[in-house]
Amino acid sequence: MVRALHVLPFTATALAAYTGNVNYFSPSLHHPGLGVSINKVAKRAYASSPWDPAQLNFTHGVASGDPYEDSVILWTRISPSNDNDQSNVTVSGYVGLYNHDTEPYVAQSAAPVCVDWKISTTDDFAVTADAGTAYTSSDIDYTVKVEAKKLLPFTTYYYQFNVCGSDNVSPVGRTKTIPSKDSKVDTAIRLAVYSCSNFPFGFFNAYGNPVRKDSVDYVIHLGDYIYEYGNGEYGWGNAYDRIPLPDREIFTLYDYRRRLATYRTDLDLVASHQNFPWIPVWDDHEVADNTYRDGSSELNNTEDSFIHDGGVSVDQRKMNAVRAYFEWMPIRQVEMDDNLRIWRDFSFGDLFDLVMLDTRQYDRSITDLYWNTHYVHEISQDAGRSLMGPRQEAWFYHKLKDSSSRGATWRIIGNQIVFSRMNESLGLGDTDPLNYDSWDGYQSNRNRTFSTLYENNINNTIFLAGDSHASWVSDLVWLDEHEYDSKTGSGSVGVEFAGSAVSSPCPYGQNISLETANSASAWLTGANQELQWQDLYYRGYYELSISHSSLNASFFGIPTTAVKQGYEISLANFTVLPGENHLHRQNGSAAAPLAASGSLKNGQLGQTNVTHDTASGDWFVYSGYTSTSGGEA
């Protein structure tokens, strides 16, 4: 270890630098006794010299997230090694369940890493809006997470980290605060919405396209940011030199740290984090496939499962995953007495309220684990079943009513799984025709949500979803309870936009042809009256442009993820007008003026393959991967 000659002074300034790193404090800065013993950490480093700046690297760029009207979270990692800390002490022994604190008895760093940070409205940092110093160490995998304060609402800022007393600097990041809750928003706010990025299935081109277009203000990620599998178990990374590390199914704290670090080597993901503030939630694969409160599809609290998976329990694995996620993602710790909680909300002036749910990890009743599908089908209407648990449910319904009462024009619900009822018997069979891992397996929870919307006359509600690796656009309808006209949208209480995956494969097969995919989409739109557009073929994302006069959704397909490029195809565009509570019809169709892929109810397809190169700005007709791009993409 090479170190500088100067000695770290054990002073109030040094202590303040430790407290400036949010990752030492969790879950609340107002309750420091629950976090790290900063005095002990500082004393440990008292006789040690800090690292030589030349031996340190900003290994994974910068990121920002969870913007408020006057503050935002800033993140980086500054480390003497690209590898991650291998100590599991922070998730063993007497630590709190799902605790993402750094305890006083962690594996000790011999020396701290000191960074300064600053934030300004200009990228030359002529005038700083806020600045500070923070320390990091192996305790928290050399991550740095600070809260920049004293910021102006709805304002673009630039930020940067540097190793203390040196010219070793991070890239410059860009971020943006949100409008103040009571302010009048007179411009459209633009969001990019993502889910399901699988490293060995190809490049994350979708993350980079809004960066190249500079087309959005904020990024919403609905989960499956990483996958837990070893190479070859779900995706073969050798073809693209994208082997997920460590090369095995992940269980330990080190495993989850390393997997997150591997994903963050994708340059388009790095660029998205550097240029836009993120508001993410987890889905299931941040921990394991089809997780619920007490287990997952391949790991349950049984002796057989414990032995098969190398002696790790469900709760231990979840602790490991949650801690690594909070270390690596630019999010706030929500509440001091609930360390697993990620559900939270944001108010974007009088324009909309964004409610981010956790329908996977928090308090979810048992789900479809593949061997119990019919059982979950049989109990899917039980009143006691919940995706969220009673506490989060009550909070959610309160937020819906409060948002409507305060006069926000829109309510945007970020959730992981498809909300609308979907007959998928084409692929699942007639015995168990629904996806019981989605809201279809928790019908009373969905009915309670519908009841809240209909009985309280809550208008302009938009559900966002990911998870399915396909695109679904529907009117929100309480089927069998309210009359609904699929041609006009009458009877609907809102709209659902569910997006495809960044890179994870089509659920009907990785190498499905466009013709086969569109045929299946046509069957699905025919079998589900509220489903207005469906596409299975393309990987991609969608953007929302939200104003008081309309909400517009634009879906983009990525022609291929087999190579790194900025190509995308405009697949379909939709409009929701305030007060209509359904997709706005134009000439009888919900899309304007047609769709480029999939199946559009009462509308037409126009498969031109007109493609936008977001890197150059050029338009052309894409001709590569014409028969199997659904699988490559």
Domains and CATH numbers, the chain: 9-88+108-176 (2.60.40.380), 178-223+342-621 (3.60.21.70)
In this structure, what token pair is assigned to residue 397? 């319904």
CA atoms within 13 Å, Cβ hemisphere of 465 = 22
In this structure, what token pair is assigned to residue 145? 């997470």
In this structure, what token pair is assigned to residue 615? 């890197």
CA atoms within 13 Å, Cβ hemisphere of 542 = 28
CA 507 – CA 524 distance, rounded (Å): 13
**H or E element that contains 288:** none
What residue ranges of the chain have pLDDT lower than 70? 1-19, 22, 24-50, 88-90, 94-110, 301, 309-310, 336-337, 625-633
Q: How far is C-alpha 407 from the geometric centre of its chain's CA atoms?
A: 27
Residue 56 DSSP SS3: coil
Q: Which sign does the torsion angle of CA 189, 195, 199, 202 carry?
A: negative
Q: CA angle, corner 600, sides to 596 and 602, nearest 5?
A: 130
CA nearest neighbour of 403 among 357, 453, 475, 367: 453
CA nearest neighbour of 176 among 348, 415, 357, 354: 348
In this structure, what token pair is assigned to residue 349? 């002036």
CA 500 – CA 158 distance, rounded (Å): 31
Residue 341 DSSP SS3: coil
Q: Identify the bridge partners of residue 527 per DSSP, sorted by sequence position.
A: none
For β-strands 128-136 and 72-79, DSSP reports them as: unpaired
| Omega of the bond leading into 9 within 30 degrees of 0 (cis) | no
CA 500 – CA 411 distance, rounded (Å): 22
Q: Identify the bridge partners of residue 146 per DSSP, sorted by sequence position.
A: 74
pLDDT of residue 97: 66
pLDDT of residue 151: 98
Q: Which residues contact 70 (CB under 8 A, 6 or more apart)?
A: 149, 150, 151, 152, 153, 177, 180
Q: Strand 173-176's sheet: what is its strand order?
A: 128-136, 113-120, 156-163, 173-176
pLDDT of residue 280: 98
CA nearest neighbour of 535 among 601, 479, 477, 584: 601
Question: Quick one: DSSP state of residue 230?
Answer: P
CA 325 – CA 328 distance, rounded (Å): 5
CA nearest neighbour of 333 among 66, 18, 37, 17: 66
Question: Quick one: DSSP state of residue 52?
Answer: P
CA nearest neighbour of 358 among 277, 414, 317: 414
pLDDT of residue 14: 57
Max CA pair span of the chain: 76
Buried b (16+ CB within 10 A) or exposed e, 517-556: bbebbbbbbeebbbbbbbbbbbbbbbbbbbbbeebbbbbb
pLDDT of residue 7: 38
Q: Identify the bridge partners of residue 417 per DSSP, sorted by sequence position.
A: none
Question: Quick one: DSSP state of residue 461?
Answer: E
pLDDT tens digits along 293-314? 988 988 876 777 777 766 788 8
Contact indicator for 574, 552 with CB cutoff of 8 Å: yes
CA nearest neighbour of 415 among 531, 279, 551: 279
- Residue 481 CB neighbour total at 10 angstroms: 12
- Tokens 């995953």 belong to residue: 321
**H or E element that contains 414:** strand 410-414
pLDDT of residue 41: 63
Contact indicator for 567, 606 with CB cutoff of 8 Å: no
pLDDT of residue 36: 57
